[in-house]
Amino acid sequence: MLLDAPVVSEAGTIERLIHEVEFDLDVASHSQLKEFGCPFEITQFQRAVADGTYSILNDLLRAKLRSAYRYMSRANTFIAGLASTTPEEKGGATASNRAQNAVAESLGPIKEAFEALCSKT
């Protein structure tokens, strides 16, 4: 006898990517020194590349996503570097400035990717 198991509905790859980029847009909107430090999420982008969803997107959307995730990955590198320094240490202020600037610079590309994703659905 088979059980009548509930059906689990999972959002599709594009929907998960939209939610991730929406979260990342919020992260990028908080680039003031006292507000930032949260790394950007990149898991759903990696998943879309791995499962082939990325390859079926149009060229313009792929370009916007590549740009956004390149900026976010760069910012994540600088944010991770902050864990080993404080602003008072030699080079700490420079590391904070680089991370803060990288987060702020990512806002435009993330916004473009988000708008392009939303217009696709």
Tell me, yes or no, if the pTM score tops 0.85. Answer: no
Long-range contacts (CB closer than 8 Å, 24 or more residues apart) made by 83-86? none
Q: What is the pLDDT along the chain (121 residues), one digit of tens a residue?
A: 455 544 434 568 899 999 999 999 999 998 776 777 789 999 999 999 999 999 999 999 999 999 999 999 999 999 888 776 665 666 557 888 888 899 999 999 999 999 999 996 5
Domain boundaries, the chain: 13-120
Q: How far is CA 109 from CA 11, 32, 81, 106, in A?
A: 24, 18, 22, 6
